[in-house]
Amino acid sequence: MKSSPAPGSILRQRSGRWGLAATATVTLAFGLLDRTEGPFVGMAVGVGAIVAALLIRILVARMGTVLFLAPLLAAWAYLGLAAPVTVLAELLSVLAALAALAWMAERPHAPPAILRRAGDVLVLPAVGAMIALVSGLLIPPGELRIGVAALLLVIALGLVVLTLGRSHPASEPPSSTL
């Protein structure tokens, strides 16, 4: 039987070592692709985002393990625009998001083997992103297609919100009458 850690290790848990390492590695690699201001500026942006995310995780008590995504998102948006449109940049964009989600799973008082079980959840987004990546390789890029893809994503998002905003049918209580 494994116990949840002592209060002394809360700080270490809030920082989340493995998620931090993965996110930092991918974000720094993403920064190297900066062609607008150069790789050093790209890496500096990445380092700044990681440090800001880490500080938010440590300093903000309850919502820190969620709000830390904000500086990372800002960095990815910048790095995505600064990097040339290549398969490597798209792959790094996917990997950065997956690493950040894994980092989000590493929260204080999390049950054991949390990262391995987070992997089960991340299979679906990873597969979805890979399908999109492969499609991107086969279809030549164009501005119209980007707009259509974004529109489809927004529609999909709206449908998901509408569907999940309601109660799940499987969890409705059984009827008290026949």
Where does this chain bind other proteins (CB under 8 A)? 1-4, 7, 63, 65-67, 69-70, 73, 76-77, 80-81, 83, 85, 89-91, 93-94, 96-98, 101, 104-105, 107, 109, 111-114, 117-118, 120-126, 128-129, 132-133, 136, 141, 143, 146-147, 149-150, 153-154, 156-157, 160-161, 164, 167-173
Residue 67 neighbours by CB under 8 Å, 6+ apart: 56, 60
Least separation in angstroms between CB 89 and other proteins: 5
Least separation in angstroms between CB 174 and other proteins: 11
Distance, in Å, from the CA atom of 2 to the CA atom of 32, rounded to the nearest integer, reads 41
Question: What is residue 84's three-state secondary structure?
Answer: coil
One-letter amino acid at 2 equals K
Q: Which is nearer to other proteins, 54 or 98 (CB)?
A: 98
Token pair for 6: 């002592």
Angle at the Cα of 110 from the Cα atoms of 106 and 112, rounded to 5 degrees: 100
Least separation in angstroms between CB 37 and other proteins: 15
